[in-house]
Amino acid sequence: MAQAVEDWYKQMPVITRSYLTAAIVMTIGCSLEIISPYNLYLNPNLVVKQYQIWRLITNFLYFRKMDLDFLFHMFFLARYCKLLEENSFRGRTADFFYMLLFGATVLTTIVLVGGMIPYVSESFAKIIFLSNSLTFMMVYVWSKQNPFIHMSFLGLFTFTAAYLPWVLLGFSVLVGASAWVDLLGMIAGHAYYFLEDVYPKMTGRRPLKTPSFIKTLFADETVVVARPAEVRFAAPPVDELRR
């Protein structure tokens, strides 16, 4: 059993493995009171005035207490992050990292701007960890890129992957979780999907082209496409040419 888990872990692509490891270590560390969540949450004042820049990263790594919700999000992270990196972004690790960076930037911007808008500022002020939203963004992007895959929710009903984010959003509402967290993930995911997949087809321009300095950080493996071996046919016999 332990060997199977070890093999499964080692077979994960680098970004998925790194993110999953950081999330589990951070959450377990907080549960054991080795790390304080107060040093991890997103606080614009502390980031700007006290230069606690790490909060822009650590708020994406902590998934609250270890409960059923934590297990659900670890499953989503391990599954859909892995599926994206191994399929849609195969051989494009830098592009996948840039997608996560774009999503994190969009989510952070929404929360910061929303916190300054009257009537909704109180709701946004309660969102101090964006790890669940970033995970939901990956689910949304995967569903957009694989819309016709048939899925089942707890064996109760079947649907296509295009509706997966909405099914999960409905489930969150039913169990009493905040819908804002999932909605933010959907907004960030749709922004990426539109700018990366829809807009380039409309205009021929790709605004989310991965910067070269990010590509230098990753040595992407070359994707080899198998092609039939070159076949050379012998010249036809002289007798056939005379016919």
pLDDT digit string (tens) for 64-86? 777 777 787 788 888 889 999 99
In the chain, pLDDT over 90 holds for what percent of residues?
Answer: 48
Q: Distance (Å, rounded) from C-alpha 222 to C-alpha 157?
A: 40
The mean pLDDT value of the chain amounts to 84
Residue type, 60: F
Residue 184 has pLDDT above 60, yes or no: yes
**Which pTM was predicted?**
0.84
Q: Could you give the maximum distance between any two Cα atoms of the chain, in Å?
A: 92
pLDDT digit string (tens) for 107-157? 999 998 888 888 777 878 888 999 999 999 999 999 999 999 998 877 778
